[in-house]
């Protein structure tokens, strides 16, 4: 590896599996000390144990302000500062506008929207004291194109998309040296996507999914000093899904 994050301290939420695990793994390979968080403790500790350099795993409910305070304190106490916060944790509960349950709606917003708000707030408070940093929020192509079967999820990712820009402008205006950007993945081969396909009765290969490792390189770029001039941006990692019509179904 090339050491693109050498000496950096990174927090990655939802890091037990899927995109979060791929991001944490790549960040460690590139020289970062990684604090991984998730509610899935066993899988999270297993991912932390496989990293290229020692890290730390903490059980963390991203919808909890108290948990975010705990994670921020732990990072500073253990590693001295926070350079990167990767707000990745998310859930998807299927439901169209007609059949979505109110309790499910609120749970999705709590994790996906409130969790990113709390993560950004903690990051800004910590990073402004240490001279800056990079916040990367994982949104979705669903915030651009919509998905009929995922009303709550798409709404939550739309909130992430807009919040990212608000945070970026605020930090720029304040001169904090903090960047905030969002990444919008298309279909990536993760446990959440596989479970969703199974629940919706979709074939495993429809549509073709990207590899989490490939996606992680987009996160690496925005987290690194290579992207110092990139702030408030949206990076779509979707194989042109949002700019091309879906392929016709085979007859």
User: Quick one: which of 108, 113, 106, 103 has its CA closest to 92?
Assistant: 108
Taken in order 214, 219, 222, 223, the sign of the CA dihedral is negative
Instruction: Indicate the angle between helix axes 18-29 and 212-223, nearest 10 degrees.
Output: 60
User: Quick one: which of 71, 30, 75, 72 has its CA closest to 53?
Assistant: 30
Look up tokens 């793994």; give the residue: 25
Distances (CA, A) of 225 to 7, 128, 148, 177, 237: 12, 16, 38, 12, 20
Q: Is 189 exposed, middle or buried (0-12, 13-18, 19+ CB in 10 A)?
A: middle
d(CA 138, CA 183): 5
d(CA 89, CA 116): 8
153 and 97 Cβ atoms separated by less than 8 Å: no
User: Quick one: which of 225, 222, 188, 210 has its CA closest to 87?
Assistant: 222
29: tokens are 């390979």
Catalytic entry in 153, 176, 217, 221: 153
Catalytic annotation present for 176: no
Q: Which residues are catalytic?
A: 153
């Amino acid at each position: 590896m090339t050491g693109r994050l050498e000496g950096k301290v990174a927090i990655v939420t939802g890091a037990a599996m899927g995109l979060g695990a791929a991001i944490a793994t790549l960040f460690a390979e590139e020289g970062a000390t990684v604090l991984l968080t998730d509610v899935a403790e066993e899988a999270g500790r297993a991912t932390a144990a496989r990293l290229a350099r020692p890290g730390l795993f903490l059980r963390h409910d991203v919808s909890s302000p108290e948990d975010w305070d705990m994670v921020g304190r732990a990072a500073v106490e253990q590693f001295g500062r926070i350079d990167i916060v990767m707000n990745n944790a998310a859930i998807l509960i299927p439901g169209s506008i007609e059949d979505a349950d109110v309790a499910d709606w609120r749970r999705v917003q709590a994790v996906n929207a409130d969790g990113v708000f709390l993560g950004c707030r903690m990051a800004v408070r910590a990073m402004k004291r240490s001279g800056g940093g990079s916040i990367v929020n994982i949104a979705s192509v669903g915030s651009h194109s919509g998905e009929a079967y995922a009303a709550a999820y798409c709404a939550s990712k739309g909130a992430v998309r807009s919040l990212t820009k608000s945070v970026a402008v605020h930090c720029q205006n304040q001169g904090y040296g903090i960047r905030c950007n969002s990444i919008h993945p298309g279909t990536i081969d993760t446990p959440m996507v596989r479970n969703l396909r199974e629940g919706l009765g979709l074939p495993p290969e429809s549509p073709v999914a990207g590899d989490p490792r490939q996606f992680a390189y987009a996160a690496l770029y925005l987290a690194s000093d290579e992207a110092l001039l990139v702030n408030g941006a949206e990076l779509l990692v979707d194989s042109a899904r949002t700019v091309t019509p879906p392929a016709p179904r085979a007859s």
